[in-house]
Amino acid sequence: MSCFDCHVNGHTNGATHLVGDIRPQQFRHRIDTPPLRGVNVQRLFGSQRAMKTVEDFTEFEQRAAYFDGDPVIAMKKGVNILERASQVHFMAEFEAILDFPPAPKLDVFGKLDPELATELELEGEQIFGDKARCAECHPAPYFTDNTMHDLKAERFYAPQDINGRFASADGKIKTFPLRGIKESPPYMHDGKLLTLEDTVEWHNLVLRLKLTASEKAALVAFLRCL
């Protein structure tokens, strides 16, 4: 098994899976496979965001996640423990060169170039930083604040068991970079939203933004420029 099995071409295969570091099974979280593009600007890793470097995450994945967090199964399969100073470090150096995909309409500050962007995209940029309040957690140029936020989505549903998994409060969620967002569906940490339109509408409802249909369309147009 290799990193590229899930992170195709250094990006993502768009799959979701259950985290291996939570027990019992009922309380596992489903998580989306995030892109490795731009991983060099991120500072929180792992399903619980407990690891601070990509080296920590690489070593953890090799020691536990591949074997579903079960050391007995790991020993039966044979664990190839990576040496931190050479192998893990070299992998991290490679991951650091996986840059974001091109965004030709953005300038060096992460702002739209008025000579290249459409009126709809420029309107979306304005909404992104104003009424929709996206920029408070996703500031340019990488559109992440490298921290975590709790949107308290559990206000809108009762905790319940769904198909063997317990749906309850998610707590704080990592702020993922929005650069290249158009190329990495599904969206949100658990992959529950299939399109950017779904994602904008979800935040519109949960954050009570009261965006109009035209404002949501403009916001999606801007996100496709990132």
Burial (CB count <10 Å: 0-12, 13-18, 19+), residue 214: exposed
Same domain, 74 and 141: no
Instruction: Give me 14's structure tokens.
Output: 């768009």
One domain, residues 88 and 49: yes
Structure tokens at 222: 């801007």
Q: What is the pLDDT of residues 123-155, one digit of tens each?
A: 999 999 999 999 999 999 999 999 999 999 888
pLDDT at 6: 84
- Asked whether residue 110 is domain-assigned, the answer is no
DSSP 64-76: TGGGTT-HHHHHH
Q: Which residues fall within 8 angstroms of residue 132, CB to CB, at 6 or more apart? A: 200, 203, 204, 209, 211, 215, 219
pTM of the full structure: 0.86
Q: Which ranges of the chain have pLDDT less than 70? A: 1, 20-21, 47-48, 63-71, 73-75, 77-80
Same domain, residue pair 16 and 53? yes
Structural domain contains residue 112: no
Number of structural domains, the chain?
2
For residues 130 and 135, what is the distance between their CA atoms, to the nearest angstrom? 8
Cβ-based burial of 106 (10 A; exposed 0-12, middle 13-18, buried ≥19): buried
Q: Using alpha carbons only, how large is the chain's radius of gyration in Å?
A: 19
Please check whether residues 14 and 69 belong to one and the same domain. Answer: yes
Domain span including residue 32: 3-95
CATH number of the domain that residue 151 is part of: 1.10.760.10
- Same domain, yes or no, for 75 and 126? no
pLDDT at residue 163, rounded to an integer: 79
146 shares its domain with 212: yes
